[in-house]
Amino acid sequence: MTNEDRVRNFIRTDLGAGASVELSDDYPLIENAVIDSLGIFEMVRFIESEFDVEVDDEDLLLDNFATIADIARLVDAKQAQQAT
C-alpha cells in the first residue's frame, strides 16, 4: 500500500469522511472540512505513529496538509530528514 493509500484509509475510517467523498490524492481536505480543527491533531498522531516520524508545530501549514498528496510529501520529507 502506498503512503497515499494509508493516509486515505485513515481519513475514511477515523476522520469520518463518508464514502460519498471521492478522496483523490489532490482533493482539498481542509477546504472541504474533511480535516477540521480536531481532525488535524488526530492526523498528526496518526502520521507520527504510522510512519515513525516527528511532526513539529512549524510543519502545521496548509502546504503540508491541504491534500493527501501534500501529506504524503510531508511524510517523505520527514523520513528522508530523519534518515540523514
Partner 1 sequence: MSAHLLHHLLDAAAERRPGAGAVVDRQRRLTYAELAGRANRVARLLVACGVAPGERVGLYLEKSPEAIAGLFGVLKAGAAYVPLDHHAPAERLAYIAADCGIRTLLTTSAQLPACGELVAAGAPLERLVVLDATGTEADGDQPGVEVPGVEVLGPVELAAQEASPPPVRVIDLDLAYILYTSGSTGRPKGVMLTHRNALTFVEWAVTRFAVSPEDRLSSHAPLHFDLSVFDVFAASAAGAGLFLVPPEASVLPLEAVRFMAAHELTVWYSVPSILVMIALRGGLAAGDLPRLRAVLFAGEVLAPKHLRRLMELLPHADFHNLYGPTETNVCTHHQVRQPPGDGDGIPIGRAIDRVEVFALTDDGQRAAPGQVGELYVRGTTVMSGYWGDHDRSAQVLVPDPLGRPVGDRAYRTGDLVREDAGGNLHFLGRRDAQIKSRGYRIELGEIEAALHAHPAVLECAVVAVADELVTNRITAYVARRDDVGRDELVAFCGRRIPKYMIPETFEFREKLPKTSTGKIDRLALARGEHGTDGT
Residue 22 to residues 32, 56, 77, Cα–Cα distance (Å):
11, 29, 26
Q: Pick from 1, 38, 49, 83: which binds partner 1 (CB under 8 A)?
A: 38
- Grid coordinates representing 26 are 489532490
Q: Which of residues 52-81 bind partner 1 (CB under 8 A)?
A: 57-58, 60-62, 65-66
Q: Which of 28, 15, 38 is nearest to 67 (CA)?
A: 28
The span of 26-34, 45-53, 67-75, 76-84 binding partner 1 (CB under 8 A) equals 26-34
- Contacts with partner 1, residue ranges (CB under 8 A): 12-13, 16, 18-19, 30-33, 35-41, 57-58, 60-62, 65-66
